[in-house]
Chains A and B, each alone.
Chain A
Amino acid sequence: MNEIGLTHILFVSTILFFIGVYGFLTRRNMISMLMSIELILNSVNINFVAFNKYLYADKLDGTFFTIFIITIAAAEASVAIAIIIHLYRNLKSVDIDDADMMKF
């Protein structure tokens, strides 16, 4: 193998992204789906940091995008867990198929 560069890191983040997509499509448990979303967001962060370091080292934009994505992911996780706990109080379940009262 040649020198480890941008391409190898992009392979890792691509595979991690699609692992997250697979988990999001197959899991029916809301907390597991939230974990899959965290995996997807992390793979995006790896991409931003790697592009910033290997291609545009004269700027810091990728680093800033990563910081803002981490902040928004924290906000999203807290709101999602609050909603999940509230739903659990009403439905006694965290299965996504049970939460269908707004569907019809």
Chain B
Amino acid sequence: MNSSTVIFYILAALILGGGIMAVTARKIFRSAIYLLFSLIGIAALYFWMNIEFIAAVQIVVYVGGIVVLIIFSIFLTHDSGGEMPEPNLTRALFAAFATCFACALTILYISKQAFIATQNVTIEPNVKNIGRQMLSTTDHGFMLPFEVVSMLLLAALVGSIVIALKTKPSPSNLPEGDALEAEKK
């Protein structure tokens, strides 16, 4: 057992432990912090596979962006020390049964599958090759998806600003009784 194997198992334990704690923790703020550890573990797994560019993007976008966004939205919508209610026991039991069964089936099929690697000459996944192919307009270039996804990102960001804009509270938005009922819960 060499050091690479040991590092892989440590990373796997970090990813899976963080993931399990993120979906089962009772306090939502702790859940977000466990999610952060899981995402950092995934970035470390990309470093372990020598895909440095994706690892850097993972850290910048997920750890630096999405988790911070989630933590801010927790602060905006919760009293962050409060505990979430227990999940419905029947639902949790059936969900655990279904996911364990599906997971076991998938793992069985993966372990039976014989993967055959290509024998062609390899391309380094470094920034130079990724950038050249990303912006190439010839065959196998990704120029069109790049432009489309940039338009999608712009539209999504403008749309989210418009959705979250503060509108004047109008009485027709919600009947008074419903608001009180939501308050009680």
Contacts and interface: CB of A to CB of B under 8 A. Distances in A.
Whether chains A and B associate is yes
Interface of A: 1, 3-4, 6-12, 14-16, 18-23, 25-29, 31-32, 34-36, 38-39, 42, 45-46, 49-50, 52-60, 63-64, 66-68, 70-79, 81-86, 88-95, 98, 101
Q: Which size bracket describes the interface of B in this complex?
A: 35 or more
A35 B32 contact: yes
Contact of A58 (B74, B118, B133): B118
Identify whether the interface residues of A are mostly helix, strand, loop, or mixed: helix
Given A16-B15, A22-B99, A90-B174, A35 B118 contact: no
B133 A60 contact: yes
A50 B185 CA distance: 45
Interface of B: 1, 4-5, 8, 12, 15-16, 19-20, 22-24, 28, 31-32, 35, 38-39, 42, 45-46, 49-51, 53-54, 57-58, 61-62, 65-66, 69-70, 73-74, 76-78, 84-85, 87-88, 91-92, 95-96, 98-100, 102-103, 106-107, 110-111, 115-118, 120-123, 125, 129-130, 133-134, 142, 145, 149, 152-153, 156-157, 159-161, 163-164, 166, 173-174, 178-179, 182-183, 185
A6 B115 contact: yes
B95 to A, nearest CB: 4
B163 A66 contact: no
24 contacts: A8-B8, A9-B45, A14-B106, A18-B99, A32-B84, A38-B39, A39-B22, A39-B35, A49-B51, A54-B117, A55-B117, A57-B120, A58-B118, A58-B122, A63-B130, A66-B54, A71-B61, A73-B66, A77-B66, A78-B69, A82-B161, A86-B163, A88-B77, A93-B185
